Structure 1
Amino acid sequence: MSLEKVKDYFRQFGLEDRILEFATSSATVELAAEAAGCEPKRIAKTLSFKVNDTCVLIVAAGDAKVDNAKYKAEFSTKAKMLSPEEAFMMIGHAVGGICPFAVNEGVKVYLDCSLKRFSTVFPACGSSNSAIELTLDELEKYSNYITWIDVCKAWQEE
């Protein structure tokens, strides 16, 4: 089970006890925010894409949407999200619980700058009823991210 993989991953850092398991679903931004007791924009959603034959994960704020022009400028291809079957095979987590932790080898993780507004965010932990509250420094460290990117829109505050 993916949640167990993520718990094992965080156990090596002594953080497995910080994983939140909910009695209700946290599979969408709205449900996750309700379960975690935070604003939807603080949910760090993990979006999965196929770039050539590689899986790319983009962790973005809950209120952000992928900007196709920015995405194409960053990755030199159109944004093509993985199907649920591809996501499970390539990442090792099912849709609704996809996260940047304990992923399969070869998966590339990027963090979108839409997250930089927050001191802490809530990414999922491999299941559709889990999350963990992390600082941005912790998210960087434990996601094994490649770099910060700017591929989202609709999140900038007026």
Structure 2
Amino acid sequence: MAIEKVKAYFAQLGIEDRIQEFEVSSATVDLAARAVGVEGARICKTLSFKNLDGEGCILIQTAGDTKIDNKKFKSFFGFKAKMLTPDEVVAYTGHAIGGVCAFAVENPDVKIYCDQSMRRFETVFPACGSDNSAVEFTCDELFQYSNALAWIDVSKIPAAE
């Protein structure tokens, strides 16, 4: 199970006790926000995209209230955003949809990025490899523990209501 891989990875860092597991699903932004008790924007969703050459993939960790801005994505990466299929996500990351995260991803063909949209918050809550887990990290911790390559700006934050 993917959460066991994340627990083992976090154990190496001495932070495995920070994982929260819920009796309810946290498989979507809304469900995770309810389980954690925060606004949905503070849920860190990990989106997976095909790489240009068809080898490997790109994971982008972004705030729960954002959408990928296709123009920004193409400007940064040099090609059009195309999401992975659920089977491809598992094959590249070892995590299934609903629990996808950028932790314990051992595939060297996976490139991990953090989107600037999360910097609005002191802490965010990414999944931990299962559809009923999360961990609270500062943005700097998220960047460090996910082995991200860079902070990028490829999302749209909705206008305040």
TM-score by length of 1: 0.97
- d(CA) in 2 for partners of 1:14, 1:147: 24
Aligned to 1:16: 16
Quote the offset at 1:21 in angstroms: 0.2
- d(CA) in 2 for partners of 1:114, 1:154: 7
Mapped contact 1:21–1:129 kept (Cα < 8 A):
yes
Aligned to 2:96: 94
Aligned to 1:110: 113
Amino acid at match of 1:74: F
- d(CA) in 1 for partners of 2:63, 2:101: 13
Q: Does 1:148 align with 2:151?
A: yes
In the comparison of the two structures, how many residue pairs are matched? 158
SS class of match (2:144): helix
- d(CA) in 1 for partners of 2:145, 2:83: 23
Quote the offset at 1:156 in angstroms: 5.5
Mapped contact 2:102–2:146 kept (Cα < 8 A):
yes
Change (3 A) 1:156 1:147: farther
SS class of match (1:137): helix
Aligned to 2:30: 30
Amino acid at match of 2:43: I
Quote the offset at 1:157 in angstroms: 4.7
Quote the offset at 1:123 in angstroms: 0.3
Aligned to 1:50: 50
- d(CA) in 2 for partners of 1:32, 1:136: 18
Mapped contact 1:114–1:155 kept (Cα < 8 A):
no
Q: Residues 14-55 of structure 1, C-alpha deviation per residue, up to 9 Å, x if partnerless?
A: 111110001111010000000001110000000000112221
Q: Which runs of 5+ in 1 are unaligned?
A: none
State which of 73, 76, 94 in structure 2 corresponds to 1:74. 76
Runs of 4+ in 1 over 2 A off after TM superposition: 154-158
> Which shifted more, 99-108 or 109-118?
99-108
- d(CA) in 1 for partners of 2:13, 2:159: 33
Quote the offset at 1:155 in angstroms: 3.7
TM-score by length of 2: 0.95
